[in-house]
Chain A
Amino acid sequence: MFHVKHSVHGRGIAVAVEWMVEWMAQTDAASVDEAERRSEHMPRKLRDAVVVITGASSGIGRATALECARRGATVVVAARRTAPLEALALECGHVSGRALAAPTDVTDEQAMRELARVALETFGRIDVWVNDAAVLSMGRFEETPAEVFRGVIETNVFGVVHGARAALPVFYEQGSGVLINISSIDAQLGQPYMSAYTASKHAIRGLGISLRQEAKLAGAKDVHICTVLPATIDTPFFQHAANYSGRAVRAMPPVYMAERVARTIARLAEHPKREELVGSMGYQLTLLRMLAPGLAERMMARQSDMMQLAPDQPAAPTDGNVFVPVPEGDGVSGGWKQPAGKKAGIVAATAGVVATAPALAAWLWFQRRQPPKLSRTARAARAAQPIRSLWQRVAA
């Protein structure tokens, strides 16, 4: 390490400084390399991250933007509707200090590249890219117009493809980044009257698997692709849906809050996982599909027919927001999850107590079966005995 050629006598400080300088020179090369490598550690904390979110004007995208901003992230929000987007950017900017609204149609590849470019030129990097934009078309396959079917695939599948095309080169250049695609529990099971949607969500899941494998083969350890599979979420999504079924569209219970998906996405941004279900119904359906796939499909078909479409409420055919955005519904919630009243709370509490009563009784019963307490003399007698090893006890 150190070449001690100098005599220390007389000029100790000068020699010490020289040693130090030499040591610095050795560490210097390493330091520059380390600075190069520094950006390739792991997903950044959201506080230091730039998050791009498509489909952010309402629903899950909006909730995600607000959640990320709450955790200190710099957010770039994209959607077709300008007015709600700018209001959202303003809101996020108040919370985290940095936010940018970029009106973008995800079906336009050039616009998506432009979105990535604007994010890079404004903040220098992109750490998380959330492909959230999606549309829904309801109705039998034969009754759904071909262009509507195509429109759903354009937005849901090609939107994600264009997002990945814009984000992944940036991630590979940085050596890090998290791409989060929002699929659906429909990618696990499928639903009737939603053929385009189900097909698109399966496609997103498959795309995620393939991209993940490619990242692995490219040796990019810190480029992650995550797929989120939410169950029915309370968003204006169902009000925005194209509908050719003749019946009004509902959100099929159980309905979960969009904030729950947002929290999951924020967690994935810092701790990526391959796939993540949101909502316990998703886990139940997954389990059922594993155990009895045929039954699961039939059940889902019947359930959707009864609860996804209102049986007694007719609706005129509409192409919803598949081609052009609709002005209404620019909040997080779609009003599908009724806030539980006081009465419901009491009923739930009673049910909980009744359900846990047998367990409580069993616990008490087992408590009494414990060995009786020894008297003082008995304890002293036991203490006097030598401690026998396990082997001795087994032999005895």
Chain B
Amino acid sequence: MARQWEKRVRGRIEYRPGRAPLGRLSNTWTDVDGCRMYARVAVADRADAPAVVLAHGYGVSSRYMVPAVRHLAPYYRVYAPDLPGYGRSCRPRRVLNVPALADALAGWMDMWRLERAVLLANSFGCQIVTDLAVRRPDLARALILVGPTVDPAARTPWQQAWRLAEDMPREPAALWPPLVRDYLRFGPRRALVTLRDMLRDRIEERLPRVQAPVLVVRGARDAIVSAAWAAEVARRLPNARLVTIPGAAHAVNFNAPLELTRVLRGFLSACERCHGWPTARVAEARP
């Protein structure tokens, strides 16, 4: 069944009235230090377009990044890997903590020769990519932190569970199947150990050391990341901008991919203007 769906998504380009054709996805497996990492990749003959790497959140996989991948694909080379232990990647016996996950992501990016990519992360992924950006500044051209965790005001499993329970009704019902599926595969042992690592990791101490320009995105109805914490994240970063998307909940990449693409494009074009980045000539895919 899963195969059938992949085939459907891979072979389809949709044309709707007034819509850009959304991107094709392909499945890739890459060996990184003995671990076979899976990634959904959308690179449709635009070698000169900037690369965007999407890092998923706690327990989930690149599956819930698919709407964002398809909206970003007309403008960028889009890569959505599953980190080790998540989704369809290998499942190492040792549960990886934040620095180890960042190392795995860096190793995967090195294999793909992705230098100075735009790193877009949701939720727990933000902790991973900030660690990556601090230790490997050569890999990060810019960071897009979508709903960065963990709010220090809710640093207990109970508070996090309560906030998640508050957030889920605000997400589209379509998020449930990929979420449940990925959590089932993730398994309880990995979930508990990773939750402990996630809550112990102090992203706020790392933020002032991130040199890359950062766009902090928060859904206005996000129950997991409070408005105060999102503002605090933007304040702690040396070079950041905060954007709030009305009507969106925590998984902005899933519930508002079009909006996310628009603010991302605006931010990146402004950054190209202000930092003298090489301006990629991206052919507009619109008819």
Contact = CB atoms under 8 A, between A and B. Distances in A.
Given A24-B180, A121-B263, A123-B245, 6 more contacts: A17-B184, A30-B174, A31-B174, A34-B174, A74-B220, A121-B267
B5 A98 contact: no
A35 B5 contact: no
B181 A24 contact: yes
B221 A48 contact: yes
Contacts of A34: 172-174
Contact of B247 (A20, A44, A175): A44
Nearest to A38: B172
Interface residues of A, number: 41
B17 A117 contact: no
Contacts of B256: 39, 124-125
B9 interface: yes
B174 A35 contact: yes
A36 interface: yes
A121 B17 contact: no
A31 B251 CA distance: 14
A174 interface: yes
Nearest to A51: B246
A125 B174 contact: no
26 contacts: A25-B5, A28-B5, A28-B181, A29-B8, A29-B9, A31-B175, A35-B174, A36-B22, A38-B172, A39-B256, A44-B247, A47-B247, A48-B220, A48-B247, A74-B220, A121-B265, A121-B266, A122-B243, A124-B243, A124-B258, A124-B260, A124-B262, A172-B17, A173-B258, A174-B258, A175-B16
A210 B260 CA distance: 32
Nearest to A40: B16
A301 interface: no
Nearest to B71: A36
Contacts of A47: 247
B153 interface: no
Interface string B1-30: 110110011000000111110100000000
A174 B16 CA distance: 11
A29 B5 contact: yes
Contact of B18 (A26, A27, A172): A172
A21 B246 contact: no
A380 interface: no
Interface of A: 17, 20-22, 24-32, 34-36, 38-39, 44, 47-50, 73-74, 98, 117, 120-125, 169, 172-175, 218-220
Contacts of A32: 9, 66-67, 174, 178
Contacts of A117: 266
**Main SS of the interface on chain B?**
helix
Contacts of A175: 16, 19
B255 interface: yes
Given A49-B246, A124-B263, A35 B177 contact: no
A28 B63 contact: yes
A344 B176 CA distance: 62
Interface in B203-260: 220-221, 243-248, 254-260
Contacts of B265: 121
B181 A21 contact: yes
B1 A25 contact: yes
B244 A123 contact: yes
A218 B18 contact: yes
Nearest to A218: B17
Given A35-B174, A36-B67, A38-B172, A98 B220 contact: yes
A73 B246 CA distance: 8
B146 to A, nearest CB: 12
Contacts of A24: 177-178, 180-181, 184
B265 to A, nearest CB: 8
A123 B67 contact: no
A124 B267 contact: no
